[in-house]
Amino acid sequence: MAFFGKLWHRLLDKGKAKLHLHLMTEDPFPPRELAIPGICTEILIELIIKYEEEELELESGEPSLPPV
């Protein structure tokens, strides 16, 4: 995750926490075929909308890769 910008990094960390909470409280073993286009996508869209409402601009463009 080092190549994501700071706000994307924070958004993805919050998304992982929300997914872990969902797995602990709702559906501990969702089939991967349903989880990725389902709850994972829902969580990311929810967080992106929240960031837009808070006027936090997520970095766009080329990711910055760590030096080789």
Q: The pTM is what?
A: 0.73
Burial of 8 (0-12, 13-18, 19+ CB in 10 A): middle
Residue 39 lies in a domain: yes
Residue 65 lies in a domain: no
Residue matched to tokens 């909470």: 21
Residue 28 lies in a domain: yes
- Domain count for the chain, please give it: 1
Q: Over 70: is that where the pLDDT of 45 sits? A: yes
- Span 4-22, mean pLDDT? 90
Residue 59 lies in a domain: no
- Residue 1: predicted pLDDT: 58
Residue 66 lies in a domain: no
Residue 27 lies in a domain: yes
- Span 27-54, mean pLDDT? 90
- Residue 62: predicted pLDDT: 53
Range of the domain at 23: 6-53
- Residue 67: predicted pLDDT: 52
Closest among 68, 23, 13, 66 to 44, alpha carbons compared: 13
